[in-house]
A and B are shown apart, each in its own frame.
Chain A
Amino acid sequence: MTRESRRAWLTFAVALGWFFLLLWPLTGIKADGSLTFDQTLAIFWRVAAAAAVLVVFWRLKRKGSFDGAGRGLATARAALARGISVVPAWIWWILLAAGALSYPLLTNRYGQDVAVTVLVYICLGLGLNVVVGLAGLLDLGYIAFYGVGAYTYALLSVNYGLSFWLCLPLAAALAAIAGCIIGYPTLRMRGDYLAIVTLGFGEIVRIILNNWMELTNGPKGIISIPPPSIYVPELEPTLHFVPFELRKITYAYYVILGLAVFTVVAVHRLNFSRIGRAWEAIREDETAAELMGVNTFLLKLLAYAMGAVFGGLAGAFYAARYRFVNPDPFTFIESAMVLAMVVLGGLGSIPGIILGALALIALPEVFRGFELYRMLAFGGAMTVMMLVRPAGLIPAKRMGQRSEERD
């Protein structure tokens, strides 16, 4: 045993002891005056075993035992990439589109339901990505824009009978205005102030939705929101158009698929535009960006508003899909969920965020029994991700080269 490995195991033992001391008061001291160790030890041994495996793995990796496996994996990946590139890209795109379009025909209601949720979160994740991933501003109240969008459609359609398609841009516009209202006073501050202010803002939107009875009907919410409808041609007696309500989940799937595709394309175009480059410059070094002539304040405000737009669109869809809104879904936990998707998938990376949304929505559906541990795992994963792979599962591709990467 080398000195280094002795040190590693000593640290491991101290950490486990520390963990036990933190865990035991919460699980071992009972209100009836008894002290137990069963529950604590049950958790403790599992964590200890998992941690021990990780330490062994890490030690072996440090010693270079996995170098052979790593090389093998790299060759396999290169071979796979070559295999994929044999077939032209447009064929893959067509296959993907065909898969997405035929998905409702192949699955049942439950599968479609999950797919709709995943697509909603893809929209939200990409919207948040504009703010966090591209411009580097941490927004912890993002779900408020989702709420603004949902209530915009709910109120406009129930009170004024406006159609879904008209409300979509209105919801986006209102969300963007909300984004500017909160962004304007806070964007001069540093990122961490912004984080807390947005956190508070998200909470305030919820408080207002809960308490402004005249407008929002408070915690009881708004019911019987019309679903989106389209005009379909009818030949009898003469050619005319009748409204047709897209009530079924299959139609909802196509609507949100369209929105998600729009979001992906829009965010991709934004990312590789002049504005997107300016955002990335702000993210990397705000002072330098400003010196290069980037109007940092306006662009940060724009990032905020753009992010809010996608949140608002997803929100309007949410109201139309469930045909009921109340303030309950718009909590901080939801913001944290969306953020976890963006962070796990890869800040600034569109495929990464799609993967993140799939992982965070679809995986819990598979592991139904672990529903309770979902947020615990997400929180832990967020920290671990920042420690070991801060760029996410699929890191974003950079434009150009950085000076330290050259030569």
Chain B
Amino acid sequence: MEYFFQQFINGITLGGVYALFALGYTMVYGIIQLINFAHGEFFAAGGYVGVIVLSFLGAHGYMGTHPWLCLAFSLVLTMGYCAMLAMAVEKIAYKPLRRSTRLSVLLSALGMSIFLQNGLMLTQGVYDKAYPTAFVQGGLDIGGVRISIMQLLILGLTAVLLFILNALVFRTRIGKAMRATAQDKVMSALVGINSNRIISLTFAIGAGLAAAAGIMVGLYYGAVRYDMGFVPGVKAFAAAVLGGIGNITGAMLGGFIIGMVEIMAAAYVPHGGEYKDVFAFIILIAVLYFMPTGIMGENVDDTRV
């Protein structure tokens, strides 16, 4: 039983990361009905910029004295960086192609993804880059179940970011504009919403969340790699589809489910550890086949475009 609770904690931590990551997919899809192929690269870039800022601060000795402040600082910088990156990608690869075929947009986004991934590799090297994790060692024991400080940090941060996002989307004017654009671009433009700016902003917000997820994964596993956005990207997409693509609450829920399934399958299914990357994918196919609208989603066929 303790083993189960331990895995439950691990699953919910991983799920939080996937939830943050999946939000970018689902928000972009909701607003322009396209998959953002470069989203995994925002995640990886986030992981890298995070470790760059943290090591820079560490070299000046600030990590020893104020580790939490440093983390907050690097988190904010990294989210800003990835938001800028996402806006650039949107301007280059999506905006000029808004009236062309879906295939051209997918291909241009894919080209961007390959470009960014290799750009990261060329500037940062092909090897893993280690995260400073000394300040998040230790943990709590609750009835034999161990919760590390790291897991608490990830869970807390995820909760805060999800709360902010919810407030932003459902309580502010900008959020209202985003939802209006997602529903009907022409109509929202007629009532004075600058849809180009809203689309750009949606990319930026999604990338900011992915950047936060990248830092968390870096802290959790202790290292980042230039191609780390690839497999988690597919899983996060599975989470977005599971929750119902285009639906923000659904993506959060889907992320937690995917994370939980992955950890539980690795723990309880024979050979599960070796094939843990396969489970999210099986869920993706099953959902697409039996329940294409996801748990709380809208329809996915052509009728919305």
Nearest B residue (CB) for A39: B123
Tell me if A94 is interfacial: C-beta within 8 Å of chain B. no
Q: Is the CB of B277 within 8 A of A204?
A: yes
Interface centre among A21, A192, A373 (most CB of B within 10 A): A192
Does chain B have a CB within 8 A of A355?
no
Query: Does B147 make an interface contact (CB < 8 A)?
Result: no
Given contacts A18-B88, A22-B81, A207-B278, contact A192 B102 (CB under 8 A): yes
Q: Given A339-B110, A379-B118, A26–B288 Cβ distance below 8 Å? A: no
Interface size on A, residues (CB 8 A): 59
Residue in chain A with minimal CB distance to B110: A382
Q: A191-B102, A191-B103, A383-B112 are in contact. Are A199 and B59 (CB under 8 A)?
A: no
Interface status of A140 (Cβ within 8 A of chain B):
yes
Q: Are A192 and B108 closer than 8 Å at their CB atoms? A: no
Q: Does B21 sit at the interface, judged by CB under 8 A?
A: no
Please tell me which one of the listed residues B88, B114, B285 contacts residue A22 in the complex, with CB atoms under 8 A apart. Answer: B88
Decide if A332 touches B230 in the complex (CB within 8 Å): yes
Given A22-B81, A207-B275, A138–B103 Cβ distance below 8 Å?
A: yes
- Among A5-23, those with CB < 8 Å from B are 18-19, 21-22
B-chain residues with CB within 8 Å of residue A200 when the two chains form the complex: 234, 238, 281, 284
Q: Is B120 a contact of A26 with CB atoms below 8 Å?
A: yes
Q: Which residues of chain A are within 8 angstroms of B37 by Cβ–Cβ distance? A: 195
Which residues of chain A are near B97, meaning CB under 8 Å? Answer: 386-387
Nearest Cβ distance between residue B64 and chain A, in whole angstroms?
13
- Beta-carbon contact of B35 and A287 below 8 Å: no
State the main secondary structure of chain B at its contact with A: helix
Interface-lining segment among B48-56, B151-159, B197-205 = B48-56
Q: Which of A29-37, A68-76, A240-248 contacts B (4 or more CB under 8 A)?
A: A29-37
Q: Which of A107-115, A171-179, A182-190, A294-302 contacts B (4 or more CB under 8 A)?
A: A182-190
Q: How far is the CA of A251 from the CA of B49 in the complex (A)?
A: 51
CB distance from B34 to the nearest CB of A (A): 6
Q: A197-B285, A387-B97 are contacts. A372–B122 as well, Cβ < 8 Å? A: yes
Contact partners of B71 in chain A: CB under 8 A? none
Residue of B85, B108, B289 near A382 (CB, 8 A) is B108
B96 contacts partner chain A, Cβ-Cβ < 8 Å: yes
Q: Is B92 an interface residue (CB 8 A)?
A: yes
One of A192, A378, A384 near B35 (C-beta < 8 A): A192
Say yes or no for A92: interface residue by CB 8 A criterion: no
Chain B residue with the shortest CB-CB distance to A25: B49
Question: What is the CB-to-nearest-CB distance from A118 to chain B, in angstroms, rounded to a whole number?
Answer: 21
Q: Mark B101-122, 1 if CB is under 8 A from A, else 0.
A: 1111111111111111111101
Assembled-state Cα–Cα distance A375/B121 (Å)? 10
Given contacts A373-B122, A386-B104, A387-B108, contact A26 B49 (CB under 8 A): yes
- B243 CB to nearest chain A CB (Å): 14
Interchain CB contact under 8 A, B102 and A379: no
**In the complex with contacts A25-B49, A383-B112, A193-B241 CB distance below 8 A:** yes
Residues of the B chain whose Cβ atoms lie less than 8 Å from the Cβ of A29: 52-53, 56
Kindly list chain B residues whose C-beta atoms are within 8 Å of the C-beta of A31: 52, 55-56, 59
Report whether B114 and A378 are in contact in the complex, using a CB–CB cutoff of 8 Å.
yes
Residue of A nearest to B126 (CB): A372
Q: Does A136 contact B (CB under 8 A)?
A: yes
Set B85, B117, B275, B284: member contacting A197, Cβ < 8 A:
B284
Docked complex Cα distance between A330 and B7 (Å): 33
Q: In whole Å, how far is B141's beta carbon from the nearest beta carbon of chain A?
A: 34
User: B43 at interface (Cβ–Cβ under 8 A)?
Assistant: no
Give the complex CA separation of A30 and B48 in angstroms.
12
A386 touches B285 (CB 8 A): no
Binary per-residue interface labels of chain A (376-392) against chain B in the complex, 1 for a CB within 8 Å, 0 otherwise: 10111111111100100
Tell whether A383 pairs with B106 under 8 Å between CB atoms, given A22-B88, A30-B56, A199-B234.
no
Bound state CA distance, A405 and B116, in angstroms? Answer: 38
Cα of A294 to Cα of B113 in the assembled complex, Å: 35
Q: When the two chains form their complex, are residues B35 and A204 in contact, meaning their CB atoms are under 8 A apart?
A: no
Residue B93, interface by CB 8 Å = yes
B113 interface neighbour in A191, A343, A379, A381, Cβ under 8 Å: A379
Cβ contact of B107, chosen from A21, A25, A382, cutoff 8 A: A382
Q: A287 to B303, alpha carbons, bound, how many Å?
A: 11
Closest chain-A Cβ to B132's Cβ sits at a distance in Å of: 10
Interface presence of B300 (CB below 8 A): yes
Residues of B within 8 A of A199 (CB): 234
The verdict on A193 contacting B118 (CB below 8 Å), with A21-B84, A207-B275 known, is no
A211 lies within 8 A of chain B by Cβ: yes
23 pairs, A vs B, C-beta closer than 8 Å: A21-B84, A26-B52, A136-B103, A186-B285, A189-B288, A190-B300, A196-B237, A197-B281, A203-B277, A211-B275, A343-B111, A375-B114, A375-B117, A379-B111, A379-B115, A379-B117, A382-B110, A383-B108, A383-B109, A385-B111, A386-B105, A386-B107, A390-B104
- Sorted nearest first, the 10 A-B pairs with minimum C-beta distance are A33-B59, A382-B111, A379-B114, A379-B115, A383-B111, A386-B108, A376-B118, A31-B55, A211-B274, A26-B123
